[in-house]
Structure 1
Amino acid sequence: MSADVVTFGETMVLLEAASSGPLRYVDSFTKRYGGAESNVAIGISKLGYQSLWMSKVGEDEFGQFLIQKIRGEGVNTDYVQTYQGAPTGLYIKEMRRPGDQRVTYYRAGSAASFFNKEDLNEQQIASAKVLHITGITPLLSESCSEAVFKAIDMAKKHNVLVSFDPNLRFTLMGRIGEEKAKQLMRDIAAKSDLVMPGLDEAEWLYGTNDEAEIAQTLFAEGVSKVVIKNGGEYSFYAEAKGEQGRVPSFEIKQIVDAIGAGDGFAAGVLAGILEGKSLQNAVHFAAAVGALVVSSPGDIEGLPTRAEVDAFIEQKEGHSGGVLR
């Protein structure tokens, strides 16, 4: 069965401190997992669509854990390879004090960084409706960067929509430097159909926080849809040959864990587009997904089902989210 959304990139095992304070005083951890692309794939699956995630994991227990868990969420993992020459990546989340979370990555030279263009499956990309890319993958290694551009070429060849979330990771830019990384992100954005940066990311990439100006720059390069997230306030949307505007975010009384909210938002936008919603209503739907994600701990635990999103919108606004088109 072909997937609605195909994506690829690194997913790591997360060890989350079970108590607050510096890690030297923490004796136990909760094992979770997370990766921007697999988060989106899981989000898509939970919202009722087919998703496929490609990657490499180590030939180790953590690698098997990732495949088992992600497949268990309804994602096609048939094209995830085990790689003997490197371990599965790992990151550790430290809770210093309420509101102060710190993340340490152990991902240099991980199995996923050895992913290359030969690992792509053109048939799966060709039969998909969306190829979703993030800016994390091309920073992992030169072979990963080549794979990103090759995948985009495959998608373009088969008229598959290319979605790009920069998802900037400055700690990964040391390999090539910030200026080259900025140009790399802009090159990928220019080849995409839908670009979904945060406002701070867009400002770093394009030198302005004027959302309409950023959108026009992207439209001039051939992008057709732009969505710019501005935290918990609103999201800006614009189409090259259509309307533009802002969609307010949903108010949340308590943010439990903001990590993964952007991936949930991206899944919501893509699900809305797959359903045939207008871009405005797709963003509105995605805002509800993001709000639900920040209300739960972990990267994927809070990703909602379609029924949960509709119920949330109905509760907040007094109407069924399902009627939005």
Structure 2
Amino acid sequence: MSGVDLLTFGEVLVSLRSTGPLHLGGPLTMHMVGAESNVAVGLSRLGHRAALAGRVSDDELGEFVLRELRAEGVDTDGVRRDPDRPAGLMFLERRTADLTRVVYRRAGSAGSALDVDDLRGPLAAGPRLVHLTGITPALSDSARAAVTWAAREAASAGTTVSLDVNYRTRLWSREAARAALTPLAGYASVVVASADELDLVAEPGADEDTAVAGLLRRGVHTVLVKLGADGARAHTRDGVVHAAAVPVTAVDTVGAGDAFTAGYLSGHLDGLDLADRLQRAVALGAFAVAAHGDWEGLPRRDELSLITGSVAGTTLR
């Protein structure tokens, strides 16, 4: 695993998707999903060496996840097969053209049993960047301890740490999330959040400017605020950069935030300036929403020009 550009870790779910109501039966298609795996695939497709650590079930579903990750060029040396716990499952049913309903079966899954020992080897290999999300610490006490340990160790070693708040209401309350994520953000160089997630890493009820100011005072270098159809903002001590969204026909918004993060981190690894990193981030978000699936529509590096020509110019204030 030496020479890895990005290390991330967390639960990879098996998604079973239906084109109609689940209670009516019908065919299901199987897919690999997960915020961290989405980012790893996005980086790998752009030519970076990405690695994922964690646990998968020791059965055909676990083998399916590993096969999908390896097919996408993601390093899985840090993934452990857990013989005692099942795969986490996610069922998606398309109820209307504009509404998809999700049912989870992930309690007690292999991925939720992540602990510090699962991360010692992968982190010791010296990745250039460690990416965390607010999903993994919500899965279990051991996963929360592992994320905190990894963030602290990586920051102490001078490794760039990114944190995507990625709040999930089905996993924990806002109060519980804030208690875990606010201290975690103190280890991060990059924090990613939607506008309504910012106060989970800042004072309760803080507006964007107040939350960002607090994060910058704590040592965060860049705060990225996802604005959906309005694009995104990047805050640093030097000011604010805005990038408009790419005008595309949206067919599936799932995974767009992970794609955005992958695009930004790719630009960071490539040494792009802030405006160009943000432009790549919104471009990958556009690729994601313009295709079905969490990560399937993400581009290779030679495909970036298919959509980047449509990106409106960035502005600095």
TM-score by length of 2: 0.94
Contact kept in structure 2, 1:267 and 1:286, CA below 8 Å: yes
Match of 1:41 in 2: 40
Q: Is 1:257 equivalent to 2:248 in the alignment?
A: no
Give the Cα separation in 2 of the matches to 1:180 and 1:290: 29
Q: In the TM superposition, what is the alpha-carbon distance from 1:126 to its structure 2 partner?
A: 5.2
Q: In the TM superposition, what is the alpha-carbon distance from 1:261 to its structure 2 partner?
A: 0.7
Give the Cα separation in 2 of the matches to 1:273 and 1:8: 19
Give the Cα separation in 2 of the matches to 1:271 and 1:307: 14
Relative to 1, partners in 2 of residues 1:310 and 1:87: Cα closer, same or farther, differing over 3 Å? same
Number of aligned residue pairs: 311
Match of 1:247 in 2: 243
1:230-278 deviations in Å (ceiling 9; x for gaps): 11112111113x23131111112x2111101111110000000111111
Give the Cα separation in 2 of the matches to 1:194 and 1:126: 21
Match of 1:280 in 2: 275
Q: Is 1:189 equivalent to 2:151 in the alignment?
A: no
Q: Is 1:271 equivalent to 2:272 in the alignment?
A: no
Match of 2:294 in 1: 299
1:274-304 deviations in Å (ceiling 9; x for gaps): 1111122101111001001111111110111
Give the Cα separation in 2 of the matches to 1:317 and 1:37: 26
Match of 1:137 in 2: 136
Q: In the alignment, residue 299 of structure 1 is paired with which amino acid?
A: D
Q: Is 1:225 equivalent to 2:226 in the alignment?
A: no
Partner SS for 2:170: helix
Match of 1:101 in 2: 100
Q: In the TM superposition, what is the alpha-carbon distance from 1:150 to its structure 2 partner?
A: 1.0
Q: In the TM superposition, what is the alpha-carbon distance from 1:179 to its structure 2 partner?
A: 1.4
Give the Cα separation in 2 of the matches to 1:133 and 1:26: 36
Relative to 1, partners in 2 of residues 1:296 and 1:123: Cα closer, same or farther, differing over 3 Å? closer
Q: In the alignment, residue 44 of structure 2 is paired with which amino acid?
A: S
Q: Give unmatched runs, 5+ long, in structure 1.
A: 320-325
Q: In the TM superposition, what is the alpha-carbon distance from 1:55 to its structure 2 partner?
A: 1.1
Contact kept in structure 2, 1:132 and 1:162, CA below 8 Å: yes
Q: In the TM superposition, what is the alpha-carbon distance from 1:72 to its structure 2 partner?
A: 0.9
Give the root-mean-square deviation of aligned CA atoms.
1.7
Give the Cα separation in 2 of the matches to 1:181 and 1:250: 31
Q: In the TM superposition, what is the alpha-carbon distance from 1:208 to its structure 2 partner?
A: 4.9
1:156-213 deviations in Å (ceiling 9; x for gaps): 222100000011111111xxx4312212111111221100001121145544574332
Give the Cα separation in 1 of the matches to 2:35 and 2:12: 7
Within 5 Å, which residues of 2 pair with 1:160-239? Answer: 160-173=159-172, 177-203=173-199, 205-206=201-202, 207-208=204-205, 210-239=207-236
Contact kept in structure 1, 2:279 and 2:311, CA below 8 Å: no
Q: In the TM superposition, what is the alpha-carbon distance from 1:58 to its structure 2 partner?
A: 0.9
Match of 1:11 in 2: 12
Aligned-pair identity in percent equals 35
Give the Cα separation in 1 of the matches to 2:275 and 2:29: 38
Give the Cα separation in 2 of the matches to 1:287 and 1:267: 10
Contact kept in structure 2, 1:43 and 1:304, CA below 8 Å: yes
Q: Is 1:82 equivalent to 2:85 in the alignment?
A: no
Relative to 1, partners in 2 of residues 1:43 and 1:134: Cα closer, same or farther, differing over 3 Å? same
